[in-house]
Structure formats: structure tokens, C-alpha cells
Amino acid sequence: MADHTADPSAPQARRPGAPLAGAASGPGGGISRRRLLGTAGATGLVLGAAGGAVGHAAAPSPVTPLTSLGAEQVMFHGKHQPGITTPMQSRGHLVAFDLAPGAGRKEAAALLRRWSETARRLMAGEPAGQDDTGVARDAGPSSLTVTFGFGHSFFGRTGLEKRRPVALDPLPDFSSDQLDKARSNGDLWVQIGANDALVAFHALRVIQKDAGAAARVRWQMNGFNRSPGATAHPMTARNLMGQVDGTRNPKPDEPDFDRRIFVPESGEPDWMANGSYAVVRRIRMLLDDWERLSLPAQEAVIGRRKSDGAPLSGGDETTEMDLEKTDAEGNLVVPVDAHARITRPDQNGGAAMLRRPFSFHDGIDADGVPDAGLLFICWQADPLRGFVPVQRKLDRGDALSRFIRHEASGLFAVPGGAAEGEYVGQRLLEG
């Protein structure tokens, strides 16, 4: 993990204790007995399975306007694909597909056309189509984003080897890797994010069904973040170690942001203009080992205070870290192997990446150990100048490496956004 993360007004919902919309009120302002009985008669009574136990069916929930959380919409069409600079959502699904045997460029183009139309509809809060399951009915767009990318193997399967970017060459091996090949890479990659769990699941299910006979799921992972509005004021997210995680993430308003994160209009290959490269890593956190450390020991591993993310050299979260500051005994206040020191761009030749991760928890094993950690996703114009140099340095001496394990990995070329009437990847597949 590196020390970087991406940071309509609506009618108010019914206040607690207020009468239901449209309900006839009794003398005390509550629902009248006639109204209650009428509702029960319309919806029927609930009988216990053993017979005899009878309960009144509740009145239907009132139709309430969407809150700002559910009404928030991200546009599908644009210069860049959604889900890169979009604020982090509370729910995420990552899924990789391999093209089916016999499927090639033609089938891939038809699939991307279907997926793009599905993503456009769902992100607008519309049903996926006539056979929509209704799972997310009435939920609104909920900041849904669907992002598509191509893996290294995609180009060989579609006869497009000559159009494969050099930046998509396989990542080097790292000494800390314990990678499961079955949960790594893939021909196609889809990132789904939303601020509602049902909206996110619905999109995942529809994308899977849309694949039809053209592609099959290779692996799939689920993640989460803190829900928007859960804190009293906007703040950098925390990871499952309890650390503020993402303080030094590049910001879109910085003058060199686009140069670092997106392939330029004049870049190579031409079909990647305004696109980006996503490195995806499933990083298991060894939480039992981590939580045995004292608070000062945890802070020394990271190089920042756990309470507010401020550097150990002093100040607040955004204060520039003083790498030369020493204590009374002459020891560096920020240890030489502290994670925050090693990952700084100025310690890595300016290498920078936009981190936009999700936490994950996939259960507890027979020994009581949680399978939990970070679905690390980082974006950059060139992974050989972004992720790779930083990870190589982490590999050589990051104090955090004793408490994490890289278990899966993938690198994907994510083309620029689709214009109106186009689908994602059209310039590659039809160029």
C-alpha cells in the first residue's frame, strides 16, 4: 500500500414519529383505527406457521423522494471513464472475465457495445432492459460507476497484438508477492462502485449476464468503504488497520495531475488517449499481528499518527513531513523504513499514482483469522513510472511489509471515455 487516496439538494425524509404520508390521523395525531384496519384488510393478516398466532400486516412504506445520496448521478459519457476521479463510493465489485474459446475481436466488440449501453442506463438510474430483475428498483443512481479495462492477454485473443501498449507489459515479480494466478489478471476487467449495496450488486449481476456466451468470469472480489456522510466532516478514509490512508494522493486541481494519471491526447497507442492504467492488488492484512503492536509501534511503522494522520514530525495531516527531524537521542522521528517515508513521490523520482481502493472482508477461517485487507487500485499514465518504482522500493525495506501479503494482481489498460453514440474501446476494436 502506498501513502496516496482519492478524496442535488433533496427533500427531507419523513422525521421520526411523524404520520405516514397520506394516512388518516386519529385524535392523537397517529394513524386512525379505521385506516389501520383498512390497510390490514387490503394486505391481509399474517398467520403463524403453527396456526393461531396472528399479526397485523404493516402499512406500505410511504413513497419518499430520493435523498441526495441516492439521487447523485455520475455521467457515463465523457473525456475519461467514470470511476477514476469519482469520489470513492461505499460499495465496490471488481470482476475479471476471459473471452470464451472461439470468441475473438467481433464478439469482444459486441460485448463492449452491450456493456457500455448497460452501464449508461444503470448509471442514469434506469432499468437495464426489459428483463431487468428490479433488484435496485426505486434506489436511484446512487453514484454508480462502471469502468472497463483490457488485460495483456486480451490482445492475443482478439488478434490485436500490434495494438497492445508497451505500458501493459506484465508487472515484474516482487519478493513480497504470494500471488494466486487464478485470482490475477484476465482478458477484461470491470470495476463497479456505488453508494448503495443493492445498486452495486444489480450492476454486477447485469454485467455478468450481459457477457452471455462471449466471456466467462475469471475472478470476482467485493469491497467497501465508509459511507458518505458517516463522518461529521469530509476526511481521508481509514483502512482496516485503523490508519488514515491516502493523505498524499494527487489532487485533480494540481497542475500536473492529468500528466501523471491520464495518457495524453498525443500518447501511444492512439486508442488510449485520455485513458489510464489500473494496477489491482488484493492485499491481505495480517490483522492479528498488527493489532498486537502498541500504538507507538504502529505509528512508527506508518510514520504518521493514528489519531489524525499527521506526520510524526509534527503538525496536522497535510503538514509536510520533516524527514530529517530527530528526537532527543538523535533518532529520526520518522523511521527510515516508515511506510509514509518510502512512498513519498520525492523519494521515488517523482513517481505518483492515484489510489482509489476498497477494503474487503471475506470471512474468518477455522483459526479465527480474518481474511481481510485492501483491494488496492491505483491509476497512472504509465505503471512503469508510477506503481513499479514505488513497489520495488517498498519491497526492499518497508516496515509495513511484515503485516501485509500481496495475494492477487492485475494490470489493465483502461481507455478514455466513450463519446455519445460510442462504446468503450471502440477506437481499439474498430480502428
Q: Please list the active-site residues.
A: 245
Considering only CA atoms, which of 75, 145, 78 is closest in space to residue 418?
78
Q: Is the peptide bond before 357 cis (omega within 30 degrees of 0)?
A: no
What is the DSSP secondary-structure string of 248-275? T---TTSTTHHHHHS--TT-SSGGGTT-
Give bridge partners of residue 92 from the DSSP assignment: 193, 223
CA distance 44 to 298: 58
Q: Which amino acid is at 423?
A: Y
Please say whether the beta carbons of 430 and 112 come within 8 A.
no
Helix (H, G, I), strand (E, B) or coil at 310: coil
Burial class (CB in 10 A: 0-12, 13-18, 19+), 137: exposed
CA distance 182 to 171: 16
φ, ψ for residue 120, nearest 5 deg: -60, -45
C-alpha 78: how far from chain center: 19
Neighbours of 88 (CB within 10 A): 22
Distances (CA, A) of 75 to 164, 186, 188, 238, 403: 28, 27, 22, 27, 39
